[in-house]
């Protein structure tokens, strides 16, 4: 008698509502990675030194690669074909359907802005991935563990550059302070819950963003202060409702999405 095919148990165990909620959660997580990777990739060929062309292209590769992994897992949960579904999500959703935070989508700015944004993001992601690697949902925990090793390199790279730039020259220090002042309000959205988070958190599948944010802000503030940056006096909630912060985009976002989807939408029937 032939062996029975392996049936992934989680599919049976996880409740349908959780499956659906988790797919939405993962798509939002992937959107953050995709959009940050998109902005990172804009440095390719334009970085201050050749070594950073390489490094930023690598960051972009990793972020977009991670987005792909999360989209694929979402496809699995929804019973969609994971070779097709990620591209459908990326190329055929409208801007308003993306769930990334604005921090990821802001234009790349100067090198100080991109480097500091990367640090703020990397530091938060390190904590989120650590938590996700403990998820009760094994496929999620496995991917988080895999991604985490790469993200730790990102964090090391962005931390090293933050120090270099803050402590380098008067100009670089001034630019970094300006970058922090501009980014800090947007960083508040890291605390915003991802879609479906409350139920998933209660089921031990994902961490609470608010709790991660507490941890992150004390770590980030300590690091940035140790580098002589002054922390802006308070987070300005932006936009007004934190809960909506993944539904509201900046004025820069439609152009980003138009650029991202320009070729794919020339011929939606084509295999690109």
Partner 1 sequence: MYGADVEQIAIQLNEDPQKLADFEARIARGEKIEPGDWMPAEYRRQLIRMISQHAHSEVVGMLPEGAWITRAPSLRRKLILLAKVQDEAGHGQYLYHAAETLGATREEMLDALLDGKAKYSSIFNYHTTSWADNGAIGWLVDGAAILNQTMLARCSYGPYSRAMVRICMEENFHRKQGQEMIILYSQGTPIQRAMVQDAITRWWWPTLMMFGPHDADSPNSGVLIRWGIKTRTNDELRQEFINQLVPDLQACGIVLPDPNLHYDEASGNWRTGPIDWDEFWSVLKGNGPANAERMAARRLAHADGAWVREAAAAYAAKNQQQVN
Binding residues for partner 1, per CB under 8 A? 38, 41-42, 44-54, 57-58, 60-61, 64-65, 67-68, 71, 86-87, 90-91, 110-111, 163-165, 167-169, 171-172, 175, 259-260, 262-264, 266-267, 269-272
Q: How far is the CB of 133 from partner 1 (least distance, A)?
A: 23
Q: How far is the CB of 42 from partner 1 (least distance, A)?
A: 6
- Give the span between the Cα atoms of 93 and 212, in whole angstroms: 29
CA geometry: angle at 95 spanning 151 and 186, to 5°? 50
Judged by beta carbon, residue 68 or residue 201, the one nearer partner 1 is 68
Judged by beta carbon, residue 233 or residue 271, the one nearer partner 1 is 271
Q: Helix 209-226 and helix 111-132: axis angle, to 10°?
A: 140
Write the burial class of residue 243 (CB in 10 Å: 0-12 exposed, 13-18 middle, 19+ buried): exposed
Judged by beta carbon, residue 38 or residue 246, the one nearer partner 1 is 38
> What is the enclosing helix (H) or strand (E) of 116?
helix 111-132
DSSP string, 151-175: HHHHHHHHHHHHHHHHHS-HHHHHH
Contact in structure between 60 and 44 (CB atoms under 8 Å): yes
Judged by beta carbon, residue 87 or residue 130, the one nearer partner 1 is 87
CB neighbourhood size of 117 (10 A): 25
Buried b (16+ CB within 10 A) or exposed e, 260-269: bbeeeeeeee
Judged by beta carbon, residue 251 or residue 267, the one nearer partner 1 is 267
Which of 239, 46, 37 shows the shortest CA–CA distance to 150?
Answer: 37
Q: How far is the CB of 153 from partner 1 (least distance, A)?
A: 15
Q: How far is the CB of 241 from partner 1 (least distance, A)?
A: 30
Q: How far is the CB of 180 from partner 1 (least distance, A)?
A: 15
Judged by beta carbon, residue 113 or residue 213, the one nearer partner 1 is 113
Judged by beta carbon, residue 95 or residue 203, the one nearer partner 1 is 95
Q: How far is the CB of 203 from partner 1 (least distance, A)?
A: 29
Is there a cis peptide before residue 225, judged by omega within 30 degrees of 0?
no
Q: How far is the CB of 97 from partner 1 (least distance, A)?
A: 17
């Amino acid at each position: 008698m032939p062996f029975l095919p392996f049936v992934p148990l989680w599919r049976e165990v996880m409740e349908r509502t959780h499956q659906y909620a988790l797919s939405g959660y993962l798509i939002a997580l992937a959107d953050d990675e995709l959009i940050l990777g998109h902005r990172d990739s804009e440095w390719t060929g334009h970085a201050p030194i050749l070594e950073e062309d390489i490094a930023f292209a690598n960051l972009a590769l990793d972020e977009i690669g991670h987005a792909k992994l999360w989209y694929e897992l979402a496809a699995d949960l929804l019973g969609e074909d994971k070779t097709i579904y990620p591209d459908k999500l990326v190329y055929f959703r409208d801007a308003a359907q993306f769930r990334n935070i604005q921090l990821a989508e802001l234009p790349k700015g100067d090198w100080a802005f991109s480097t500091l944004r990367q640090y703020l993001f990397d530091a938060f992601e390190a904590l989120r991935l650590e938590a996700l690697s403990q998820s009760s949902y094994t496929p999620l925990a496995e991917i988080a563990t895999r991604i985490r090793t790469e993200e730790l390199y990102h964090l090391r790279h962005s931390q090293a550059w933050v120090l270099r730039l803050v402590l380098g020259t008067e100009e670089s220090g001034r630019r970094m302070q300006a970058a922090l002042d501009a980014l800090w309000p947007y960083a508040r959205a890291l605390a915003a819950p991802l879609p479906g988070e409350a139920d998933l958190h209660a089921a031990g599948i994902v961490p609470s963003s608010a709790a991660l944010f507490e941890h992150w802000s004390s770590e980030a503030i300590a690091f940035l202060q140790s580098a002589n940056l002054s922390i802006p006096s308070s987070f300005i909630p932006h936009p007004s409702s934190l809960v909506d912060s993944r539904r509201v985009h900046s004025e820069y976002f439609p152009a980003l999405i138009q650029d991202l989807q320009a070729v794919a939408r020339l011929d939606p029937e084509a295999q690109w």
